[in-house]
Amino acid sequence: MSKIPIVSGKQVIKVFKKIGYQVVRQRGSHIRMNHTLDETKRPITIPNHKVIAKGLLARLLRDTELSLEEFVRLLRK
């Protein structure tokens, strides 16, 4: 298993847009995203910070059912 990368909120949002999430609202620096096609997927909230904490990123990946390897692959696209 690879190491969790250091990423910004903008990078995380870009990856989740690639798998079907869209921004539905923003309050302060926190951006709420819902899945466009699958309503059974949990909505996620991403802080638009320069660095996303590793624990938060791990939770976001778990909530979106995205593997770390797939996230890293999409991040590099």
User: pLDDT band at 1, cuts 50/70/90?
Assistant: low
Question: Which of the listed CATH numbers 3.90.180.10, 3.20.20.70, 3.40.50.740, 3.30.920.30 matches domain 9-76?
Answer: 3.30.920.30
Domain boundaries, the chain: 9-76
The predicted pLDDT at position 19 comes to: 95
Please name the residues in contact with 62: beta carbons below 8 A apart, sequence gap of 6 or more: none
Mean per-residue pLDDT, 21-27? 97
pTM, rounded to two decimals? 0.92
* Conformational region of residue 36, where left means phi above 0, alpha means psi within -120 to 50, and beta covers everything else: alpha
Average pLDDT value over all residues in the chain:
94
28-51 pLDDT, tens per residue? 999 999 999 988 899 999 999 999
Percent of the chain with pLDDT over 90: 88
